Amino acid sequence: MKSDLDRLMAERAIDALLILPGENEDPYRVYLSNGVQHSGLVLKRRSEPPVLIVNSMERDEAARSGLAVYTYDNFGYSELARTYQDNRDTITVTWYSRIFEEFGVAGKVGLYGVSDLNAALSTVRILEKALSDRLHFVTEEPRDTIFDRAYETKDPAEVTRLREVARRTSAVVRATRDWLATHRAAGDTVITAEGTPLRIGDVKRHVRGLLFAEGLVDSEGMIFAQGRDAAVPHSKGADSEPLRLGTTIVFDLFPREPGGYFHDMTRTWCLGYAPPEVQAVYETVMDAFRRAQAMCAPGVSTSAVQRMVCELFEAAGHPTVLHSPATTDGYTHSLAHGVGLNVHEAPYFPTFSNRYTLQPGNVFTIEPGLYYAERGYGVRIEDTVYLNEADELETLTDVPYDLVIKLEQ
């Protein structure tokens, strides 16, 4: 959690964390800025709270963080731009030097954030050349950075937000299920009140309305994929396609509060009835889901849980990434990931390494699945769970698991 940052910086001998200014959404910046979105620079020295340096137009927004806020012009940015015009190197070096001087930044500086890569790399090269006697920029092993390790556990305020977005997302999925059940079937087609076929685009529109009413944002695009598409885990589904009875639908929804925390969950549904083969695969997936839940406890390696699921699936005759790393049939992905300000964050559950050990404060998905594109089906079940301070695994998602949604003919 965020309060671990100073300990992590000390352990790794990193003197300061730096996030460069930039306009794009940046979960690192939001995290260090106590939830506030702005486009400024963030600097955190070890054992000191972060400071924000923003365009003066954003000074009011930035102040909501409760942190010390400075403007670009407190370090003379506009005057430098006027004086040196197109001499970007001089402007950059002078401006950053003033900031580093003011806050005593020197030594190992970690660079983070989600940035325009060309602009960031260009700034880094200018500063590395000019300030090499003062500081050097360090990178960390991806998936083992200071931020990964902080994101890995959530503090009580974060858990409150995650519970709330879980509650709202679950309400949307339950309402979607109930709404689908109000439709009737004509043969293998699902029919609206107007007598026309219900299409995936209609369902997505309905879901977006429900999300909107709950104040949630679906910025990355939900998955509502049927049949063969359901077997390609990130295929989002074809809007024009009519819903069919007896076909798997994978509904993966991962919305968030605007600029805030995500929830992530998946249900697999069959309208009307489930073919026996699909029913059997669904039961295998539910079995993996339950066993993974039962295994998740403090001290357990995340890879061990992933491998347990692979072995369970392989014993049932399904190929998995454990022995067929590039398979696109069977179990084709990893079991889980953390959820927070990023929809995917630490802890990760890789098949082939062992960096993460479960601990109280983890919030993560559990999402086994089995996929057979050529047979026209895919099944995935996903909840987001919280390993709480009492070492218990709490399920934050609250939606029935049932495969079949009955329709009247």
Residues in 40-79 at the binding interface with a second copy, rule: CB under 8 A = 55-61, 73, 76-79
Q: Does 115 bind a second copy (CB under 8 A)?
A: yes
Give how far Cα 115 sits from Cα of 80, 248, 323, Å: 23, 39, 37
Give the residue from 260, 294, 288, 254 showing the smallest Cα distance to 387.
Answer: 294
In one-letter notation, the amino acid at residue 326 is A
Distance CA 136, CA 43 (A): 15
Give the residue from 306, 344, 338 showing the smallest Cα distance to 325.
Answer: 306
393, two tokens: 């695994």
How near is the Cβ of 264 to a second copy at its closest, in Å? 13
Cross-strand pairs, 377: 372
Judged by CB under 8 A, the residue of 3, 132, 194, 234 near a second copy is 234
Q: Does 212 bind a second copy (CB under 8 A)?
A: yes
- Total residue count of the chain as it appears in this document: 409
Q: Does 121 bind a second copy (CB under 8 A)?
A: yes
Q: Does 24 bind a second copy (CB under 8 A)?
A: yes
Give the residue from 50, 68, 56 showing the smallest Cα distance to 5.
Answer: 50
Q: Does 344 bind a second copy (CB under 8 A)?
A: yes
Cross-strand pairs, 226: 249
* Cα distance between the two ends of the chain: 52
Q: Does 34 bind a second copy (CB under 8 A)?
A: no
Q: Does 217 bind a second copy (CB under 8 A)?
A: yes
How near is the Cβ of 26 to a second copy at its closest, in Å? 8
How near is the Cβ of 225 to a second copy at its closest, in Å? 9
Judged by CB under 8 A, the residue of 163, 208, 290, 291 near a second copy is 208
Judged by CB under 8 A, the residue of 333, 338, 364, 377 near a second copy is 333
Contacts 24+ apart (CB under 8 A), 203-207: 203/176, 203/243, 204/237, 204/239, 206/176, 206/179, 207/172, 207/176, 207/253
Which range in 1-9, 165-173, 338-346, 360-368 contacts a second copy by CB under 8 A?
338-346
Distance CA 325, CA 341 (A): 29
Judged by CB under 8 A, the residue of 106, 124, 304, 316 near a second copy is 124
Q: Which residue has the tokens 């889980």?
A: 336
Q: Does 353 bind a second copy (CB under 8 A)?
A: yes
Q: Does 110 bind a second copy (CB under 8 A)?
A: yes
Q: Does 122 bind a second copy (CB under 8 A)?
A: yes
DSSP string, 179-225: HHHTSEEETTEEE-TTSSBPBHHHHHHHHHHHHHHTT-B-TT--EEE
Q: Does 240 bind a second copy (CB under 8 A)?
A: no
How near is the Cβ of 87 to a second copy at its closest, in Å? 10
Whichever of 12 and 290 has its CB closer to a second copy, that residue is 12
Whichever of 134 and 236 has its CB closer to a second copy, that residue is 236
Whichever of 57 and 280 has its CB closer to a second copy, that residue is 57
Count CB neighbours of 1 within 10 A. 17
Q: Does 374 bind a second copy (CB under 8 A)?
A: no
Binding mask 151-180 for a second copy (x = CB under 8 A): ------------------------------
Which range in 108-116, 157-165, 185-193, 266-274 contacts a second copy by CB under 8 A?
108-116
Distance CA 241, CA 230 (A): 13
Q: Does 128 bind a second copy (CB under 8 A)?
A: no
Q: Which residues contact 234 (CB under 8 A, 6 or more apart)?
A: 223
Q: Does 233 bind a second copy (CB under 8 A)?
A: yes
Give the residue from 356, 334, 336 showing the smallest Cα distance to 397.
Answer: 336
Question: Under a CB-based contact definition with an 8 Å cutoff, are residues 365 and 314 in contact?
Answer: no
Give how far Cα 134 sits from Cα of 25, 44, 129, 198, 218, Å: 30, 17, 11, 64, 44
Judged by CB under 8 A, the residue of 48, 49, 101, 125 near a second copy is 125
How near is the Cβ of 103 to a second copy at its closest, in Å? 20
Distance CA 232, CA 207 (A): 21
Q: Does 118 bind a second copy (CB under 8 A)?
A: yes
Binding mask 289-328 for a second copy (x = CB under 8 A): --------------------------------x---xx-x
How near is the Cβ of 223 to a second copy at its closest, in Å? 10
